[in-house]
Structure 1
Amino acid sequence: MNLKIAVAQINSLVGDLAGNAEKIFQAASRASTDSSDIVVTPELSIAGYPPEDLLLRPGFYRQCEQELYKLAERLAVFPGLHVLVGHPAVAGHDYFNAVSVLANGAIKCTYLKHNLPNNMVFDEVRYFSAGNSACVFDVKGTRVGINICEDTWFPDAPAMAKAAGAEILLVPNGSPYHMGKQAQRLDVMRKNVCEQGLALVYCNLVGGQDELVFDGSSFVLNSDGAIVTTLLHCAEDFGLVEWNGKAFSSNKSLNPVQSQEADVYQALVLGVRDYVSKNGFPGVLLGLSGGVDSALTLAIACDALGAEKVRAVMMPSPYTADISLTDSRDMVRRLGVRYDEISINPCFDAFNATLAQEFSGLPVDTTEENIQARIRGTILMAMSNKYGSIVLTTGNKSEMAVGYCTLYGDMAGGFAVIKDIAKTLVYKLCHYRNSLSEVIPERIITRPPSAELRPDQKDQDSLPEYEILDAIMRMYMEENQSREAIIATGFAAEDVEKVTRLIKLNEYKRRQAPVGIRITHRAFGRDWRHPITSKFRD
C-alpha cells in the first residue's frame, strides 16, 4: 500500500508557540485533504529556531509542552495522520532537541537529537543533552525513521535508524543559508543517508531570524541519491511525495537551479521582510547617498516590504556631487518611495564653529569627515524615534572588515542589510536586480565609489582595489589562511599586510555594529569571535 508524505516548509516565529502550532495544524489540514499519511515539519517547529537563551528558562519548556499536547488533541480530527513536530523536551534534569510524532490525539513516539552542533552559528551544547536511541515507527507497513538536522551530517545516526529497520528517513531541519549550502546538503545527505540504502525526506525551515536566514529548499531523495522533488528557495512551500515500497515519486516538478546572485538576493529580501515584520516595525528608513551600497539596500527594502513602507533620505554635504543627487532622485522615481533631502550643511557649520577654538591650528582630517557621517546618523535616528521606522544601515562586508565606516555615523541603525556582502558581490547583485527591472540607474553602478566626505574623494585613495581587498578578506577571514599563504598565491605583501592589519584593528567597531544578514559560511558576528584586546600576531 502506497504511503503519502507531505513536506510542510513553514516559517516559524521564535516564541510564538500558538502561532506556530496553528501553522502546523493548517499544514496537517492540507495534508489530510491530500490523503497524506505523514506530515514533516521543520526542526523545533513549535518553538521556532533557534530559541537561544529562551532554552535556559524553565517556563519556555513548560509552555512548549502544553502547546504540544494541545496540538496533539486538535490533530485528532485527522485520524491516521502522523505529524512530526519539533520541540524542546525535558527528561529529569536533561534537556533535549526533540521531534514527536503526533497521531490520533496522542504522542506516538519521540526522537531526541544525537549530534548537537557547536560551531559557526550553533551552540546547542550550551542548551541540550544528546540522545542516543533510534526512533522508528510503522505506517501502512513501512518502517519510518527520524533524524534531526545535524544527525545526518554524520553517518552514525542514520546507520542506527537503518539498523532499527528504517526504510525511509524523515529529517526535520533548521539549516541556515549561506552561499553554496544547498549543494553541500545534497552531497552530505547522499553520502551519509542514501549510501546506507535509505530514502530521505529533508524538511527545512524557511524564514529570517535575526542575522540568520533559513532558505527552505527542502528536498526528497531516493536511496540511489536521485532528487525526487525540491521545494522553493526562501519561501513557504508544501510538497507531497508517494512511497511505493521501493522509491518515492512526485507530481511536483523540480525547481530550476538559480544563479548564486538570485539565491543571495532572495535571502536578503526574506531577511529584511522577516526582521521588520516579525519585530513589528511599521517601515524602514535609510540614507541614500547616490552610491551603489545604499542603492542596493533600497532595492532590497522595496522588494521586501513594498515601496509604501520605505523612506529614503538624502543628506547632502558640501562635498556631495551633483550627480549623486541626480541619480538618487532618478532611483526613487523608479521605485516610487518617499524621498526627502535634508542638507547637513547647517549642522556641519555649527559643529565646526563649536570646535573651532578646540581644533585651532590643527589640520582638517578624518575628524571632520566623521562629523558629517555622525550628523547623518543622528538625523536618521531622530526620524526613527519620531516615526517608529527602523533605520537600515548600508555598509558592506568589505568596509566593515577594514573599518571604512564611522561609529555612530553610517553604522548607526537597527539592521545591517548587506553587512555580509563583499563589495564585488554588491555590484553583481545590482546587475542581477536590474535584470529583473532596471531600478538602479546605470551610473550608480559604473561610477567610482566614494564616501564624498572630502573633495574628490575615492574609496581607492585609502583602500586596495576591491577585487584585491575582497579576495584577501575571503582568504584571511572566511578561510583562516595565514598572511604567508595569501602572499604565496600572488598578492602583494603590502596589500596583504594592510588588509589583515585593518581587519584586526577594527574589531572594536564591528562589535558595535547592528545585527545584519548572514549569507556566507563565516560572517562577522556569531561566526567571528576575535578578541578586541590582543597582542597575538600570526
Structure 2
Amino acid sequence: MRNGFLRVAACAPHVKVADVDYNISRIIEKLDGLVKQKTELAVFPEMSLTGYTCADLFHNFMLIDAAAAALARLVDYSREVRVIDFVVGLPVRVDGAMYNCAALVQQGEVSLVAKSYIPNYNEFYERRWWRPLPFPTEREVMVGDVKCRLTNCNIFRSHGAQIGIEICEDLWVPIPPSCRLAMAGAQVILNLSASDDLIGKYDYLKKLISQQSARCLCAYAYAGAGWGESSTDLVFDGKAVIAENGSIIASNRRWEPDHNTVVADIDIQAIDRDRMHTSTFADCAVNEAVGISVADSHISHHASGYDWSDDDKLLRHIDPHPFVPSDPAVMDERCDEILNIQVAGLAKRLDAIGCRTLVVGISGGLDSTLALLVAVRTFDRLGLDRRGIVGITMPGFGTTDRTHNNATALMEGLGVTSMEIPIAASVNQHFSDIGHDPAVHDVTYENCQARERTQILMDMSNRLGGIVLGTGDLSELALGWATYNGDHMSMYGVNAGVPKTLVRHLVNYYAHQQSTSDSVRGLLLDIIDTPISPELIPAAADGEILQRTEDLVGPYELHDFFLYYMLRYGFTPERIYFLARHAFKEYDYDDATIRKWLDTFMKRFFQQQFKRSCLPDGPKVGSVCLSPRGDWRMPSDASSAIWRK
C-alpha cells in the first residue's frame, strides 16, 4: 500500500438487463479507467454481470452460462492487468442449487462468496431464485471453465490489506456477516448491493453503512445497482458509498447516471491503530471470529503494482485543521458542546468545594479570554454573582496597550471584579535577589515574570477564599509552552482539552451566538485578531508586539495537525509528514518548513512531558487529551531519538 493507504473504488456502471456482453464491456471499461487512477480494489453491484432484475431468467441456462463465460473473460483481463483486484456479482449453479454470488478476481484467481441472507418480504422475493449457503462452507467449484473457491467464511488479502465481502441484505440483518469478518481481521468490507429506492431509504442506508464501519472499526465500500435495471416495479439510482470508521468519506451524486463511481484512499493504518487501541475490539474478536479464516493464495498481496510518485494526489480529503469543522453549522454545534463541557466541569468543581470565588489572570489574549467567558457562563448557570469572578491584569515589561486595554474593558463589559497588580517592581527586586541582569532577555527574564504572576494569583485566591482558574490550552501543553510552576499551574485548567486552533473559534462563537453587548463583541473580535504572544519581551517603540509565539515555536495550525495524528492515531513522523504535505498543499508551507516544525514538535513533545505529568485537573473535551490521569501516560524521560530520526 501507499504509505498505509489502500485505494478503493465503488462502482455502479450502466447495465442492460440480461445483456451480459454489454455489462461486461462496461465493467472492463470502468476497470481500465480505475487502473489509470491507480485503484487497487474495486467493488461492483450485486448481479453486475447480468443485471439484478432478471427475475425468472436466473433459472435459464442461457443466462447462467453467459455469466460464466463473462467471468472467464474477467479472469483473463486480471491476468493481463494484475494491478487491480475487483469484485463482481453473478448467478452460480452448484449441485443443482442457485446462489447469489460475489466473485473476487485477483490476478487470474477467483473466490466466490455467496449471499448469506436471502430477503423474501415486501418487494423482494429472492428465495424464488437463490438459496443461502450454510455457514461455514468452503469448497472448490467450477463456474463454466473457471475453477473457483466457494465460501462464506473467508477473508481475503488484497495489496497488503484484509478484506471481507457481504451482499446487500447481509448488511440489514441484526448481526451482519461483516461483524464476524471484521473480528477475524478484515479491515475493508465490500458490499455488492441492489437496494431499490424508496422515500427516506437513502438516509437510513447511509447511517447503516457509517454505523457498521464504526462498529467494526473498518472501511466499508458499497456499490448498488443503478441505471439500466428494470423499472417494472422498482427504481435503482446506482449508489456508490465509501465509509471509514463512522464517517462517509466518498459518495456519488444520486439520480445522475454517469456519476456512478467514487474512489477514495482508505487509511488502513488508522484502522489498525484504532483496533489496537480499543481493547474491547480484541476481546470481542475472541468470541465472534469463530469459523472465519484468511484465504490462502499464491497471489502476491504486498506489491501494489503501481509506481507511486510524490506528486500522486491522495484521493481523500486530509483536513489541515482536524480539530475545526469546516461546516459552519457543525462548527457552532461543536463550540456549544465544548463550552457546555467546560462549564459543567467547572460548575462541578465549584459545587464540590463550596467555592463562590474564582481568580483568573486576564492578559487580553485568547486563552485567558476563553477561560473568563467559561467562568462567566458557569456563574450564570449556578446563579452566582459575576462579581465573584476576580480578573487580575498584571502588566509587565512586554505588555502592550492593545492587550491591556482589551483586558480591562472586557472585564468591565462582562461585569466581573477587575483588579490590576503591576509586576515590574517585584520582578526587578527578584532579579536583584538572584543576581540576574535585567538587560539579558533570556529564559530567566521571561520565567520570572510568569512565576510572579502565578504567585500573585495563588496568593490572591488564598486571601479571597477562592481558586485559581488555569488558562493554558492543549496545544501549549503539547509543546510545553508554559512556565513550569508558572502559568503551567492552577487549581482547575478549564482549557486543558482545547487545542489552540479551536480557541479562537470558541471565542468567536461566544461573540456572535451568546447574549453580549456590541462593545463586548467588538472586544472579543479584536482579541481574536491580536497576534499570539506571551508578552514577556518589551514591545517595539510604536507599541507593536515583537514577541510572537508562532515565530518561536512554529505555526499552531501545523502543530495541532501533528498533535492530532500523533495522539489520535499514533502515526509515525514519516506518515504525519506525508499527510501534512497533502493537507497543506495550498498553504504557504513548503516541504522544508513542514519538516522543520515537525522536528520541533517531536523534540518539544518529548522534552516537556514532565510538565504534563503534574497537570492540574481539567475537563476532556475531545478524542485528543493529554491528562496524565487518563488519556496520556508517558515517562518524562522518554527519548525522542527514533521519532526525530
Report the Cα distance in structure 2 between the residues aligned to 1:397 and 1:379, rounded to whole angstroms: 24
The residue number in structure 1 matching 2:225 is: none
* Partner SS state of residue 312, structure 1: strand
**Cross-structure match for 2:451:** 374
In 2, distance between residues paired with 1:294 and 1:449? 12
Identity of aligned residues (%): 28
Please give the alpha-carbon distance, in whole angstroms, between the structure 2 residues aligned to 1:534 and 1:313: 38
Contact 2:438 2:445 in 1 (8 A): no
| Distance in structure 2 (CA, Å) of the matches to 1:190 and 1:513 | 32
**Which of 503, 523, 528 is equivalent to 2:625?**
523
Give the gaps of 5 or more residues in structure 1.
1-154, 157-182, 193-255
Which position in structure 2 is the counterpart of 1:453? 536
Letter in 2 for 1:486: I
Match of 1:327 in 2: 406
Question: Offset of 1:498 from its aligned partner?
Answer: 0.8
Displacement after TM superposition at 1:282 (Å): 2.2
- 2 CA distance for matches of 1:280 and 1:496? 44
- Cα 1:500–1:535 change in 2 (3 A) is closer
Contact 2:606 2:638 in 1 (8 A): no
What's 2:419 paired with?
Answer: 340
Question: In the TM superposition, what are the counterparts of 1:210-359 in structure 2 within 5 Å?
Answer: 259-306=333-380, 307-356=386-435, 359=436
Q: Please report how far the alpha carbon of residue 371 of structure 1 lies from its aligned counterpart in structure 2 after TM superposition.
A: 0.2
Cα 1:360–1:286 change in 2 (3 A) is closer
The answer on whether the counterparts of 1:478 and 1:523 sit within 8 Å (CA) in structure 2 is no
- 1 CA distance for matches of 2:472 and 2:556? 14
> Could you tell me how far apart the structure 2 residues matched to 1:434 and 1:475 are?
30
- In the TM superposition, residue 355 of structure 1 has moved relative to its aligned partner by 2.2
Secondary structure of 1:404's match?
coil
Cα displacement (A) at 1:463? 1.6
- Preserved CA contact (<8 Å) 2:469 2:491: yes
CA distance in 2 between counterparts of 1:415 and 1:520 reads 18
Task: Indicate yes or no: 2:545 matched with 1:468.
Answer: no
Given that 1:522 and 1:528 are in contact with CA atoms closer than 8 Å, whether structure 2 keeps it comes out as: no
- When the two chains are superposed, the root-mean-square deviation of aligned CA atoms in Å is 2.7
Q: Which residue of structure 1 lines up, in the alignment, with residue 611 of structure 2? A: 509
Give me the whole-angstrom Cα distance separating, in 1, the residues matched to 2:213 and 2:568: 24
2:482/2:488 contact within 8 Å kept: yes
Asked whether the 8 Å contact 2:473–2:497 carries over to 1, the reply is yes
Q: Is the 8 A contact 2:335 2:505 kept in 1?
A: yes
Q: Deviations over 1:357-411 (max 9, x none)?
A: xx46994301110000000000111011122211011011111110110111112
Aligned partner of residue 531 in structure 1, secondary structure: coil
Larger radius of gyration: 2
Instruction: State the secondary structure of the residue aligned to 1:286.
Output: strand
Cα separation, partners in 2 of 1:191 and 1:364, compared to 1, 3 Å: closer
Q: CA deviation at 1:474?
A: 0.9
Change (3 A) 1:191 1:325: closer
Residues 374, 408 of structure 1: 8 Å contact kept:
yes
Equivalent pairs counted in the alignment come to 293
Secondary structure, counterpart of 1:517 in structure 2: coil
| Equivalent residue, structure 2, for 1:480 | 570
Distance 2:438 2:508 in 1: 47
Deviating more after overlay: 436-445 vs 470-479: 436-445
1:464 partner amino acid: G
Moved more, 389-398 or 482-491: 482-491
The residue that corresponds to 2:515 in the other structure is 437
Structure 2: gaps (5+ residues): 1-178, 181-206, 217-328, 381-385, 539-545, 582-590
Inter-partner Cα distance in structure 2 for 1:409 and 1:190: 42
Which runs of structure 2 are paired with 1:134-153 in the superposition (5 Å)?
A: none
> Is 2:364–2:527's contact at 8 Å kept on the other side of the alignment?
yes
Q: Which amino acid aligns with 1:470?
A: D
Partner of 2:184: none
- The SS at the match of 2:336 is helix
- Corresponding position of 2:639: 535
TM-score in terms of structure 2 length: 0.43
Q: Does 1:495 align with 2:592?
A: no
Residue 124 of structure 1: aligned partner: none
On the 8 A contact 1:288/1:295 being kept in 2, the answer is yes
- 1:127-151 C-alpha deviation (Å, 9 max, x unpaired): xxxxxxxxxxxxxxxxxxxxxxxxx
One-letter amino acid matched to 1:423: K
Residues 1:426 and 2:496 aligned together: no
Maintained 8 Å contact 2:573/2:598: yes
